[in-house]
Amino acid sequence: MAINPTRQPRAALSFNPHVAALPTYNAGLNVAVARSISGREDIARLGSNENPYGCSPAVMRALAGPRFEPWRYADPACRELRVAIADRVGADADEIVVGNGSEEMIAAISRAFLVPGARVVTVVPSFGLHEIEPLATGAVVTKVPMSATLDFDVDALERALASDPQVCFLPSPWNPVGPALDRASLERLARAAGPSTLFVLDEAYREFEEKGTPDGIEVLQGVSLPHVVLRTFSKAWGLAGLRVGYAVCSDAEIARVITAAKTPFNVNAAAQLAAIAALEDEPWMHDAVSRIRAERERVREALSSLGLRAAPSQANFLFFDCGIDSSRLAADLVKEGIIVKPWREQGYERYLRATTGLPEENDRLISALARLLGR
């Protein structure tokens, strides 16, 4: 082929520098990879905080029924689902935005409210997207470390909020650590946020909290500040593979702007049907959560007997210091057919997060940890 001698060299491809420099989200190990490494089919999937009991049978019936038409577009406004959520949480449907998991809501909030140089406050160890999505907009993220007791440092968070960041992402219960804010602490932090701060409370694990812990939607409705409460169907409701999360906003205008920042048709038809069916079978969810809570405490006691200190948890996982590099220990566990999540943020490389699975899965984890750590 002849070369055109007059052709000018192309300029180098230009990337968005904010996106190109993003840290990688720690999504956990794929089960097929774990099977390949371990040579086992029976993988204990304790890395992604899924519900080991699956989902309500009502969900499977809905997906097998005549209302599921995969050849049709889903309702882009998720009207029926928003009304069902509004009835459950005591909000107006116009204040609710539904997303492809609550992760999409984090991205939409960042896109809607942040510009280069904007300031964001969150915690560390962090749910990765509370940092990654703001960084993608060019925002500057301040992360407040957990306390020596593996809990929220409320004093330090209050000081960080006093600087009037544009957005605060605060998880309660806290992924990956586990504790939840009590009412007094939540009210204190909400009042510390100024009127120019969007206070985002991520309650992805709300259903696992013990009785008496505050409902973030109810508490924040009683405090005059712009806010969003995030929840999901991925955890307690068992719909992780269908990706349905939602944002409950303090007013319809915030919801409108977040809606404008997401893609249309973002929640597929199967996901919408499944979420509605799940809400109609709340007893199934409560039964699964009750069993998971009991197992979580049994595993915590077993870890303690091995000399492993776990943070107080109001979620479906435990976060603990394993005393050695957690990535190395997690790799050894994969060889035994057990997936957990090693934490990789600076300063927390000795910590593992382990989902509470079925009793037999938890027994495998406890036995393997005792053997590998020589306890």
**Pair 120, 260 in one domain:** yes
pLDDT(195) > 90? yes
Does 263 map to a domain? yes
203 contact partners, CB below 8 Å, separation of at least 6: 171, 172, 173, 216, 229, 230, 231
Q: How many CB atoms neighbour CB 41 within 10 A? A: 8
**Pair 115, 93 in one domain:** yes
Write down the pLDDT at residue 9. 67
Write down the pLDDT at residue 93. 98
Specify the amino acid at residue 202. D
**pLDDT tens-digit readout, 229-248:** 999 999 999 999 999 999 99
**Pair 37, 92 in one domain:** no
pLDDT(228) > 90? yes
Last-in-domain residue among 254, 279, 304: 279
pLDDT(4) > 80? no
Does 329 map to a domain? yes
Overall number of domains in the chain: 2
Does 99 map to a domain? yes
**Pair 102, 239 in one domain:** yes
CA 298 to the chain's CA centroid: 24
Does 18 map to a domain? no
Last-in-domain residue among 279, 301, 333: 279
Q: What does the pLDDT average to over 158-179?
A: 97
Q: Which two tokens stand for residue 317?
A: 């996982």
**Pair 42, 179 in one domain:** no
Does 21 map to a domain? no
CATH classification of the domain holding 137: 3.40.640.10
**pLDDT tens-digit readout, 266-321:** 999 999 999 999 999 999 999 999 999 999 999 999 999 999 999 999 999 999 99
**Pair 218, 118 in one domain:** yes
CATH classification of the domain holding 306: 3.90.1150.10
Q: What does the pLDDT average to over 20-24?
A: 90
Does 64 map to a domain? yes
Give the separation between CA 144 and CA 154, rounded to whole angstroms: 9
**Pair 117, 226 in one domain:** yes
Does 9 map to a domain? no
**pLDDT tens-digit readout, 113-142:** 999 999 999 999 999 999 999 999 999 999
Name the average pLDDT for the chain.
95
Does 318 map to a domain? yes
Packing angle of the helix pair 282-305, 359-372 (nearest 10 deg): 20
**pLDDT tens-digit readout, 339-370:** 999 999 999 999 999 999 999 999 999 999 99
**226-247 burial code (b ≥16 CB/10 A, e <16):** bbbbbbbbbbbbbbbebbbbbb
**Pair 236, 310 in one domain:** no
**Pair 218, 275 in one domain:** yes
**Pair 230, 214 in one domain:** yes
Q: pTM of this prediction? A: 0.94
Q: What does the pLDDT average to over 156-181?
A: 97
Last-in-domain residue among 253, 279, 305: 279
pLDDT(85) > 70? yes
Give the separation between CA 121 and CA 143, rounded to whole angstroms: 6
Q: Which two tokens stand for residue 87?
A: 């009835």
Give the separation between CA 93 and CA 307, rounded to whole angstroms: 48
* Structural domain boundaries, residue 158: 57-279
**Pair 145, 220 in one domain:** yes
Of 132, 108, 68, which Cα lies nearest the Cα of 247?
108
Residue 245: strand pairing partners: 99, 232
Give the separation between CA 135 and CA 117, rounded to whole angstroms: 10
**Pair 233, 135 in one domain:** yes
Percent of the chain surpassing pLDDT 90: 92
Q: How many CB atoms neighbour CB 286 within 10 A? A: 12
pLDDT(1) > 60? no
Specify the amino acid at residue 160. A
Q: Which two tokens stand for residue 143?
A: 């992360």
Q: How far is the CA of 194 from the CAs of 109, 160, 170, in angstroms?
A: 18, 11, 15
